[in-house]
């Protein structure tokens, strides 16, 4: 199994957990997503955020190594890229991590910065979730089980 | 009309629709959950209450930290600042990991932002 394929689906899993736990905490209106258990949603969101940050680091290092080695092979499953949806994911991920870090680190000491970054973090979540739905629609051929290819290979 | 190639997307959507309906049905059947009366989200409420009177320098000014002694008597914060147990240990480890990885990620992102346009230009010319 290819490394970029594994990274892609790990990313999808962690992003889904982050989106669900984040939306559950976003307001009372959405609390039903995690049965109004905000404390659990908070812990799950923080733990998933650390995995998300580590995955981001791995993808960035992987991409840097590819560039330094002048590796020009196409990696269709790679999360980040210089154009298209890869670039969109790269930019939104950086904004998510920076705003998330500000909320995490300055929640008790700077309420203005927390309010401002939390607003960006929340609104970006809706945009990212909508973009993921669009991404799944555009790439829905990837959801098909590869029966024909197996038969051809045999 | 209906694109057959997009059928997996609609199948996946219907699975998620069923899950959402089941979760909503479970929530509505529970009488103790009446919290959904607040319309605004947490971020909207915070920005309405705090950001209305703030200036740009306020975003970069640290306020007084809630001390543990003061907050321990406050019901709102007493559980939040508990400094014993596994939760606090997890908080320390994850915060340290975040602080360590954040500069590396930013440096890597800056490197990619510089190198990516050059590499895509090369690909176009080749």
Residue B76 has pLDDT above 60, yes or no: no
- Is A142 among the domain residues? no
Closest Cα to residue A14, out of A132, A144, A104?
A: A132
Residue B69 has pLDDT above 50, yes or no: no
Contact B115 A105 (CB under 8 A): no
Contacts of B77 (CB under 8 A, 6+ apart): B66, B71
Tokens (6 digits) for A54: 């580590």
| Number of compact structural domains in chain B | 1
pLDDT of residue B59: 81
- Is B121 among the domain residues? no
In the structure, what pLDDT confidence band is assigned to residue B15 with cuts at 50, 70 and 90?
A: very high
- Is B71 among the domain residues? yes
pTM score of the predicted model: 0.82
- Is B36 among the domain residues? yes
Measured distance CA(A88)–CA(A81) in Å, rounded:
9
Averaged pLDDT score across all residues of chain B: 76
CB A100 within 8 A of CB A49: yes
Contacts of B66 (CB under 8 A, 6+ apart): A108, B77, B81
- Is A101 among the domain residues? yes
Residue B24 has pLDDT above 90, yes or no: no
Query: pLDDT tens for residues A80-124?
Result: 988 889 999 999 999 999 999 999 998 888 888 999 999 999 999
- Is B125 among the domain residues? no
Interface test with A, best of B27, B30, B41, B67 (most A CBs within 10 A): B41
CB A115 within 8 A of CB B43: yes
| Number of compact structural domains in chain A | 1
- Is A138 among the domain residues? no
- Is B122 among the domain residues? no
Query: pLDDT tens for residues B28-51?
Result: 777 555 555 567 788 888 888 888
- Is B124 among the domain residues? no
- Is A140 among the domain residues? no
- Is A82 among the domain residues? yes
- b/e map of A20-54 (b: 16 or more CB within 10 Å)? bbbbbbbbbebbbbbebebeebbebbbbbbbbbbe
Closest partner residue to B51 (CB to CB) among A35, A61, A115 is A115
Contact B116 A82 (CB under 8 A): yes
Q: How many A-B residue pairs are in contact by the CB < 8 A criterion?
A: 161
Residue B67 has pLDDT above 50, yes or no: no
pLDDT of residue A128: 95
Residue A81 per-residue DSSP state = -
- Is A125 among the domain residues? yes
- Is A144 among the domain residues? no
Enumerate residue ranges in chain A where pLDDT < 50.
none
> Which residue of chain A is at minimal alpha-carbon distance from B39?
A29
Q: Is A17 helix (H, G, I), strand (E, B) or coil?
A: helix
Inter-CA distances, B64 with B52, B61, B73, B82, B95, Å: 20, 10, 17, 19, 20
Give B74's contacts in chain A (Cβ within 8 Å).
Answer: none
pLDDT of residue B82: 58
- Identify the domain containing residue A77 by its residue range: 1-131
Measured distance CA(A88)–CA(B73) in Å, rounded:
46
- Identify the domain containing residue B112 by its residue range: 4-116
pLDDT of residue A140: 85
pLDDT of residue B71: 46
* ipTM of this predicted structure: 0.86
pLDDT of residue A103: 93
pLDDT of residue A36: 80
- Is A136 among the domain residues? no
């Amino acid at each position: 199994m290819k490394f970029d394929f594994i990274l892609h689906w790990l990313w999808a899993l962690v992003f889904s957990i982050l989106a669900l736990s984040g939306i559950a905490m976003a307001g009372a209106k959405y609390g039903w997503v995690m049965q109004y258990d905000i404390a659990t949603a908070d812990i799950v969101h923080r733990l998933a955020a650390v995995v998300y940050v580590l995955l981001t680091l791995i993808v960035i290092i992987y991409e840097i190594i590819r560039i330094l080695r002048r590796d020009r092979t196409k990696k269709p499953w790679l999360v980040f890229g210089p154009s298209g949806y890869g670039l969109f994911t790269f930019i939104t991920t950086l904004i998510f991590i920076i705003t998330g870090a500000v909320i995490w680190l300055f929640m008790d000491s700077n309420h203005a910065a927390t309010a401002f970054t939390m607003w960006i973090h929340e609104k970006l979540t809706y945009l990212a979730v909508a973009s993921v739905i669009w991404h799944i629609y555009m790439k829905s051929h990837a959801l098909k089980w590869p029966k024909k290819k197996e038969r051809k290979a045999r | 009309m209906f694109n057959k190639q997009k059928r997996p997307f609609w199948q996946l959507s219907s699975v998620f629709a069923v899950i959402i309906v089941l979760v909503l049905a479970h929530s509505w059947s529970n009488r103790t959950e009446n919290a959904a009366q607040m319309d605004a989200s947490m971020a909207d409420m915070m920005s309405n209450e705090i950001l209305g009177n703030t200036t740009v320098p306020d975003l970069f000014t640290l306020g007084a930290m809630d001390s543990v002694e003061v907050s321990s008597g406050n019901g709102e914060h007493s559980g939040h600042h508990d400094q014993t147990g596994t939760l606090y240990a997890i908080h320390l480890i994850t915060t340290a990991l975040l602080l360590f990885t954040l500069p590396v990620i930013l440096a890597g992102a800056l490197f990619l932002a510089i190198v990516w346009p050059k590499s895509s230009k090369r690909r176009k010319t080749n």
